[in-house]
A = this chain, B = another copy of it.
Amino acid sequence: MSVTGPAGFRAAGVAAGIKAAGARDLALVVNDGPQQSAAGVFTTNKVKAAPVLWSQQVLQERKLRAIVLNSGCANACTGPGGFQDTHATAEKVADVLGVGAIEIAVCSTGLIGERLPMDALLPGVDSAAKALDTGEQAALDAATAVLTTDSKAKQAHRAHDGGWSIGGFAKGAGMLAPNMATMLSVITTDVAISGADLDEALRAATRVTFDRLDVDGGTSTNDTVLVMASGASGVEASKDEFTALLTEVCHDLVRQLQDDAEGATKTIDITVRGAVSEADAVTIGRIVAEDNLVKTAMFGSDPNWGRIAMALGRAQAEIDVDKVEIATNGVTLYADGATARDRSEADLSGRQIEIVIDLHLGEHTATILSTDLSHDYVEENSAYSS
């Protein structure tokens, strides 16, 4: 269950013919209200795809009736023509639903630099509108239609005792280091909440979830997380409760993205403790997460902590080398400026690896979720254009 879990939403995912081979490639998620609050966070990349530029504009009203998403083409680096394609997509959805285009967000994912096949996409919107449904299958179809190199759909749902819930789906397997958003994610809730509060909650939740995922440093041109609230439960949750549950849903989705990342044979959680600021903890966690020598060592199940020390030493952050402690899977290997225990004592043979770096300088902590660098990653990203 995902986006149709909360009351007030319908979804669909169809094969419009954007992708070859008849796979589902067009998704539609509609908010039937009574409210239409919405918020979004978008890529920090300076190169922004046309649908990002469009959706940022329409989100200024903090109101959405529907989100249309396609896979198979990112519609990025496509110039004014590409922006017109996004606009035409929104107009088509608005027309079919009898609303204004300003209430329609658009998301695209796939190859950069190619134009959308509008002659396939526009009829696909009609098919998707006809398929709209409140059931679980419709949500799964939508979550499936946005996939690219993902091996499976990523969905999450959490119900609150107070009679409301939050659901969502996400996609993304490569070019995956979201900053204020991941590749694409749609989240729905039936709580009654204003657009401003929704925006605040979304930023708080993504800051500690999507923004902490770093598979390959590749903040994409299309990263987008959108949330829509229908108010259909009639319940107004407290801001704290809503933010907490939203964070849980985001975290669930991010874990699924981490686990299904391109070529990953290990999921690596890098926790930085004792930092003078959260920003420092994140900076250090990311530089270790993105370091190819650390990533290949982890692929080889080798607790080569010297590479972790090298990587963190490159960070623009406050570090006292003699105070740093490095542990892998619970075994402290480096402390007091020298080897603590022999690395043969740390067993990294399993899929899950935990790296803990304690700076012993302050009270701040952050965990970055990452993966290893494997032959499959190289194969997948050298053999195919994606």
Residues of A within 8 A of B (CB): 44-48, 74, 76-82, 111-114, 174-175, 216-221, 290-293, 296-297, 299-300, 302, 304-307, 309-315, 319, 321-322, 333-334, 336-339, 343, 373-375, 377-379, 381-383, 385
Q: Are B382 and A296 in contact (CB under 8 A)?
A: yes
The answer to whether A337 and B291 touch (CB under 8 A), given A309-B112, A321-B47, is no
Instruction: Give min CB distance, A315 to chain B, whole Å.
Output: 8
- In Å, the complex CA distance between A314 and B80 comes to 22
- In Å, the complex CA distance between A297 and B315 comes to 27
Q: Lowest 8 A-B CB distances belong to which pairs?
A: A112-B306, A47-B313, A300-B382, A79-B338, A296-B381, A45-B313, A79-B337, A46-B313
The answer to whether A79 and B292 touch (CB under 8 A), given A112-B310, A382-B299, is no
Residue of B nearest to A78 (CB): B338
The answer to whether A302 and B382 touch (CB under 8 A), given A47-B309, A175-B310, A220-B310, is yes
Instruction: Give min CB distance, A347 to chain B, whole Å.
Output: 16
- In Å, the complex CA distance between A45 and B321 comes to 11
- In Å, the complex CA distance between A76 and B309 comes to 9
16 contacts between A and B (CB under 8 A): A46-B312, A46-B314, A48-B313, A77-B337, A78-B338, A78-B339, A113-B306, A217-B290, A218-B292, A220-B310, A292-B377, A296-B377, A296-B381, A299-B382, A300-B382, A373-B378
- For the A-B complex with A47-B312, A74-B306, A221-B310 known, give 6 more contacts whose Cβ atoms are closer than 8 Å: A76-B309, A78-B338, A217-B290, A293-B381, A299-B382, A375-B378
Name A306's contact: one of B48, B76, B321, B381 (CB within 8 Å). Answer: B76
Instruction: Give min CB distance, A112 to chain B, whole Å.
Output: 3
Majority secondary structure of chain A interface residues (helix, strand, loop or mixed): loop
Name A219's contact: one of B216, B302, B314, B339 (CB within 8 Å). Answer: B314
Q: Are A217 and B299 in contact (CB under 8 A)?
A: no
- In Å, the complex CA distance between A307 and B112 comes to 8
Residue of B nearest to A305 (CB): B113
Q: Which B residues touch A374, using CB under 8 A?
A: 378
Q: Are A292 and B216 in contact (CB under 8 A)?
A: yes
- In Å, the complex CA distance between A12 and B333 comes to 36
Q: Which B residues touch A114, using CB under 8 A?
A: 339
Q: Are A319 and B46 in contact (CB under 8 A)?
A: yes
Q: Which B residues touch A302, using CB under 8 A?
A: 382, 385
Q: Which B residues touch A333, using CB under 8 A?
A: 113
Q: Are A293 and B77 in contact (CB under 8 A)?
A: no
Q: Which B residues touch A112, using CB under 8 A?
A: 304-307, 309-310
- In Å, the complex CA distance between A77 and B321 comes to 9
Q: Which B residues touch A381, using CB under 8 A?
A: 292-293, 296-297, 300
Instruction: Give min CB distance, A290 to chain B, whole Å.
Output: 7
The answer to whether A382 and B297 touch (CB under 8 A), given A79-B338, A314-B45, is yes
Q: Are B378 and A296 in contact (CB under 8 A)?
A: yes
Q: Which B residues touch A82, using CB under 8 A?
A: 338
Residue of B nearest to A315 (CB): B46
Q: Which B residues touch A385, using CB under 8 A?
A: 297, 302, 304
- In Å, the complex CA distance between A76 and B311 comes to 13
Q: Which B residues touch A44, using CB under 8 A?
A: 314
Q: Which B residues touch A79, using CB under 8 A?
A: 322, 336-338
Q: Are A383 and B300 in contact (CB under 8 A)?
A: yes
Q: Are A293 and B174 in contact (CB under 8 A)?
A: yes
Name A77's contact: one of B216, B299, B309, B319 (CB within 8 Å). Answer: B309
